[in-house]
Amino acid sequence: AQSVAQPEDQVNVAEGNPLTVKCTYSVSGNPYLFWYVQYPNRGLQFLLKYITGDNLVKGSYGFEAEFNKSQTSFHLKKPSALVSDSALYFCAVRDSGNTGFQKLVFGTGTRLLVSP
Amino acid sequence: NAGVTQTPKFQVLKTGQSMTLQCAQDMNHNSMYWYRQDPGMGLRLIYYSASEGTTDKGEVPNGYNVSRLNKREFSLRLESAAPSQTSVYFCASREQGINEQFFGPGTRLTVL
């Protein structure tokens, strides 16, 4: 079965500094990977996805993610953090299972706290 | 264009009561999903619907039933609520292809 792991429950970073939120994956076949963000009391919002092609994927709000096949990682990055980036971030992988229907398997989430 | 809407936003039930969570999407998506979110566990899939008229169990279906009423609406029913079903419930929909899911704002359910 497909799975993702987010090894950090929380990441703390000062505003203006670069941030990284880590994600590693385990899949059979080609990995299709996603990042979502959840602000307090809101639903999840899509940030970016990797399907194929360039290993550096650019997404919403200045976020990008680096796909690394040899390390089976898909880390989320941003060059300069904002206080407003403070939120809960989820990594997810597509799982087609036995039916071929696309489902997402989510990591447990990483809370990002950006201090002023 | 409202996207994915869910009602109610909040609900408190007593053990054994029943209720239905409503979800609707206006993006003409075929696929719809129900998740629950619990602290430290991420999102877990309860049921999904690949298209109108079809539904299938996800990772944690016990205690729930669903109905895909039409292409727009996908409801989740708790027949006899239990405290273990206290959670935040999210509905999502997706377009064909390897595309992202769009999420509703969630329903916060407490079962006493």
Q: Is the pLDDT of residue A20 over 80?
A: yes
- As a whole number, the mean pLDDT across chain B is 94
Which pLDDT score, from 0 to 100, does residue A100 have?
65
Name the percent of chain B in helix, strand, coil, to the closest 5: 5, 55, 45
Q: How far apart are CA A109 and CA A103, in angstroms?
A: 17
Contact A106 B43 (CB under 8 A): yes
Contacts of B100 in chain A (CB under 8 A): 34, 46, 49
Q: How far apart are CA B45 and CA B51, in angstroms?
A: 16
> pLDDT-derived band of residue A97, with 50, 70 and 90 as boundaries?
low
Which of B42, B94, B103 lies closest to A43 in CB terms? B103
Question: Across residues A65-72, what is the average pLDDT?
Answer: 95
Q: Is the pLDDT of residue B8 over 80?
A: yes
pLDDT tens, position by position, B14-68: 999 999 999 999 999 999 999 999 988 889 999 999 988 899 999 999 999 999 9
Contact A43 B4 (CB under 8 A): yes
Question: Across residues A27-33, what is the average pLDDT?
Answer: 88
> pLDDT-derived band of residue A1, with 50, 70 and 90 as boundaries?
confident
- List beta partners, residue B49: B32
Task: Considering only the C-alpha atoms of chain B, give the largest distance between any 2 of them, rounded to a whole number of Å.
Answer: 41
In angstroms, the Cα distances linking B15 to A71, B7, B35, B62, B80 are: 47, 20, 21, 16, 7
- Please, how many CA atoms are within 13 Å of residue A92, restricted to the half-sphere of its CB? 29
Sign for the pseudo-dihedral over CA of A61, A54, A93, B20: positive
Q: Residues in chain B, how many? A: 112
> pLDDT-derived band of residue B2, with 50, 70 and 90 as boundaries?
confident
Which pLDDT score, from 0 to 100, does residue A88 have?
96
Which pLDDT score, from 0 to 100, does residue B89 have?
97
Which pLDDT score, from 0 to 100, does residue B96 have?
79
Buried b / exposed e over A12-40, threshold 16 CB at 10 Å, is ebeeeeebebbbbbebeeebbbbbbbbee
CA distance B104 to chain A (A): 6
The enclosing H or E element of B91 equals strand B87-94
Contact A43 B98 (CB under 8 A): no
Contact B41 A108 (CB under 8 A): yes
